[in-house]
Structure 1
Amino acid sequence: MKPIKAITAGCMLLTTSGCSSVMSHTGADQGYYAGTRANVNMMKSDDTSWAMMPLLAIDLPFSAAMDTLLLPYDYLRSDNDKAAESPKIRVQHDEEQNLATSGNPGQGIEAAPH
């Protein structure tokens, strides 16, 4: 019975740690160590609140460990076209097209007259 408790505790620990890594891997391919990079970028950002900093510092080693475990998965995904999968890249592309056509981001589609 003890091995089952240890396995359960281990699975629960894995699911509650490395939040940035898990979030980075649920979207499109972001490269290697995406969760760790996200943590570091948020810690460097001036837009990150002071309340978030300790949480990021706690999550950083867990995200690094999770990213290390997910290296084979990242390697398998490395051949995919990132632009086709990433909503962020598609939105950026659409905004660039809107800016080029209208000169105003987010205003590329003309409103229908009422």
Structure 2
Amino acid sequence: MVPIKKMIATGCLLLTTNGCSSVASHTGADQGYYSGTRANVDMMKSEDTSWAMIPLLAIDLPLSAAMDTLLLPYDYLRSGSDKAAASPKARIQHDEEQNLAASGNPGQGMATSPTSAGL
């Protein structure tokens, strides 16, 4: 019974120490394979990254690589999908364009003249 508890505890520990960059990169649009690992390396190379962030990225790098490896089947299934359709930015821009075309008022979708508001 004790080995089962140790296995459960180890599994929970592994789930809580997953690669943050990998999880964050998989919440948006399809960015290809090993996107979390690439994000870590790109941030470590960037001159805009603060000195305090680099050790955290170094710790997260092998965890993100492991999580990206586990998510390879998911990435493979998403590889044929439309990348722009899954992007939150693309969806918001599309909605804003529709609102502007329908009403001439971006952001709200309603006309701004007082006569149309019933005042």
TM-score by length of 2: 0.70
- Which runs of no fewer than 5 residues in structure 1 stay unpaired? 98-108
Q: Spell out the pairing of 1:9-24 with structure 2 (5 A cutoff).
A: 9-24=10-25
Larger gyration radius, structure 1 or structure 2 = 2
1:78 equivalent in structure 2:
79
- Which runs of no fewer than 5 residues in structure 2 stay unpaired? 98-105, 107-111, 114-119
Distance 1:89 1:39 in 2: 24
Over aligned residues, Cα RMSD in angstroms?
2.5
- The answer as to 2:57 corresponding to 1:27 is no
Distance 1:10 1:77 in 2: 26
| Aligned partner letter, 1:16 | T
| Aligned partner letter, 2:13 | M
2:56 equivalent in structure 1:
55
- Measured after TM superposition, the shift of residue 10 of structure 1 is 1.9
| Aligned partner letter, 2:40 | N
| Aligned partner letter, 2:79 | S
| Aligned partner letter, 1:15 | T
Query: Does the CA-based 8 Å contact 2:17-2:63 persist in structure 1?
Result: no
Paired residues in the alignment total: 101
TM-score by length of 1: 0.73
| Aligned partner letter, 2:75 | D
Share of identical aligned residues, percent?
74
